[in-house]
Structure 1
Amino acid sequence: MHLKPQLLRSLALGAVMLGMAAPHSQAQTPDKKTAISLFGSGYQYKGNYGSYFWDWSNTNGGPGISFNRYLTSGLDLGLQFGYAELKGNQPTNAQNVFKTNVVHGNLAFKLKLNNGWALKEDAVIQPYLTIAPGLAYLSRESTYRGVTSDRNSTAFDLFGAAGINFRLSDGVGLFIQTGQHIPFGANIDGDLVRDENRIDDRYLQHSAGLTFAFGKMKDEDKDGVSDKKDKCPGTPAGVAVDPTGCPLDKDGDTVPDYQDKCPDEKGVVALEGCPDRDGDGVRDADDKCPDTPGKAELGGCPDADGDAVIDQNDKCPGTPAGVAVDASGCPLDKDADGVPDYQDRCPDRPGPASNKGCPEVKAETKKRLSEATKFINFEFNKAVLLPSSYPTLKDLAAVMAEYPDYTLSIAGHTDSKGADNYNLRLSDDRAASARTYMLSQAVPAERIVSHGFGETKPIADNATAAGQAQNRRVEFDLYLTGDPNAAEVKYGAAPTIAPEPVKAAPVKKAPAKKAPARKAPAKKAPAKRK
């Protein structure tokens, strides 16, 4: 059987084109370790009658089969069988002709160059070298110098080849290779004159064929990528993966498409793969202010003063933290007096800012307070109110009801007669007595403060009886609750009352002899003091 040169060239070209058109295929793999190859070969003789190497007009064809086993990424082991009928004649003597049937079997060691050093194991083009010792059975029919010389023989055959495998699919490959057989001591052409080296006759074998790999790869997560190659084992069922077994990630944001809420836009892991260009933790699709960092609870918009009104709608930026505001971001002003509630001492009653947002005390009321001191009287030298004082104190209780945001200061004073501490105690008791009566008129205790100043703050000359009468007084002053005590603002802190001295127990003396009694001089009655 002769193969035309054009046919062999077309076969080789077709093999290359098929290999280039199959970028994701592979025949024998670590997962499919056993393979079978079917191929056709062209054989070219070289011997005593001449050399037909690379002479396509003198090529003899034949079929072949091989069985292969994957060992490592760089080595396969195979068993190859081939058949050919070699024919030829001696050019100088046409009577010397031969026809030899050759059956060869070889144990092939395939050295793969796609072992990760120069090319990846799953490369599309996979070059290799083969060394294959074996046996060749030759059945020759020949005529040499007019004498028939038929013979059957067996020879040790050494085969070496180089080839390229092209991946077509997962488990199918196409290969082309060329190698030389050296059957030691074989006489292919029947020429009886032999060389001493016993390699007179040899032949080339040019092959092209298909390799089919068998076996079931281990794929625990069933994503179509074997466990050995799977860089992302445990991928959920049904998830599309890349050739390494990892879930697809079209936008390259490290969030796989099956978990990516924005698979076509590069985003951040914390937002399930969605973009956040202002970096405020709110995905752009939900961010009302996508170019300005803001707060999640405000739709991603900023709120510099933290009043829960976004800056672009805030008519009062810079409001202090914690201050209640209205929808425009301005502090609340319930009484609409122009003083915001957080600065307003009287948020429920309008008043000027000069009085901290509280109603001012009317001039008429101030006059009532000033004149009230004239109508507060006590029993002589005591802190007991005279009934004539009650109407005035009741009137002051009404004033307190009219001004609920104020506190009343009651300050007691005396003239300079008597001991200082006695006067101080008396003034304090009288102020307290007035306070006690007002408490009985339903004025809250926390809104009345009383102090005694004794004789320390006279308003008239104590050298005269009229001056002393003016100095014996009880004063009433209103001041905003929380402000300093009005009396202390006028007079300073009230003096401290010293404790009364403890009287010593009388010392018992021995009875003495009675002296004649003498009449004691008469004592003067004490003068009236206050």
Structure 2
Amino acid sequence: MRKLGFFMSTVTAAVLASTATAGDYEVTAIVGGVIPEGNLEMNKQGTIGAAVQFNAIFESIKPELELLYSPDVVYKKAGGETTITRVMLNGVHEYGPLGTAIPYMKAGLGYENMTKLKYDNEDSVMADAGLGFKFPIAEEVALKLEALYMLKYNDDRWDNNLAVLAGVNVAFGASEPAAEPAPEPAPAVADAPADSDNDGVADDADKCPGTAAGVSVDANGCALDSDSDGVVDGTDKCPDTPAGATVDAMGCQLDGDHDGVVDASDKCPDTPKGASVDELGCAVDSDGDGVSDLKDNCPNTPEGFKVDMVGCPVVKTLKIRYETASAVIAKESEGKVVEFAEFLKESPAYNVKILGHTDSRGSDKYNQGLSEARANSVRTLLIANGISEDRIIAEGKGESQPIADNGTKEGRAANRRIEVWLLK
């Protein structure tokens, strides 16, 4: 019983402290019954109680403190009686009128105390939820009908109780609104000072006395320039220009090459007229060959080709691996030749010259022969993949045209190469 007293005093103190300066509240006298489901060997219970609902704390959820008292509850099998006291703190939400009734819903936490514990029944914290209707019968009086579900965890089981309740609800504390004080008479208005341009700034303080009608002005009577770009708001078509930006007569940032990227952000300020540009104002180069789309006569050049001044492919180095000291193309390199064959099929305007190159190891005569054989092996594979032999020339250059230092391993690897030159 001491646990119950401590819980009730704590809850009551919290609610009263939070409502000490609130306004309206309601008191309900309650009578009803409780149907036990999980409480072992316990009869149905009659119950009485009371509830206090505080209406002036929150608009949507109203705190309610509720007490239910069930005396002389009989244990069916073993006999004996117990008294059950339940105290709950709930939040109540009332809905709009439904005919003559006001529906409501509530939920919260509480505590159940028994004077005599049997069949593993325990005093415990519980959760509750309920639905009900309020039926007004007078200005401050209403009948309430409510179904309340209570759930308590009792050691290794859940105890369920359903209460069916009725009550008389009385509202207290409604106060009449204070009377509005009579308005004081307006002070006499002195003659307003002259304002020749009607901008709201008197002539004797107006630094810009000829402001056009309807223009917003500052405290000095001058037209506003919110972004301080030198163009007043009434004329400024770009009112959020960044500080320090150079603007035109309409207050918009300059775009000298008219590519849609303002000069302050334009990394290519002299883009030719009509060129498509990226976000930096530079001409787009869709195939990444170094020639902008505007000048590119071959806008779909495959990756890896060197191009001429109009963006058309000229030469490409095929990194082909051969069997050691052999002209036989290694299996893993055949795909590069096949890929080049597909390009030639899609580009019938081109013929191709294949040039084989070696490093400087070995004699000139040996390297010349090896470079010719390797160039011809590429030619043979292209023909095998559908390229007409009259479109292909194969030559060997031996070690005569190095592109790197033959004195290093890396340089020699770079010099061993196949170049394909496109011929229109």
Q: Indicate whether the TM-score tops 0.5.
A: no
Q: TM-score, normalization: structure 2?
A: 0.33
Output the TM-score relative to the length of structure 1: 0.27
Radius of gyration: which is bigger?
A: 1
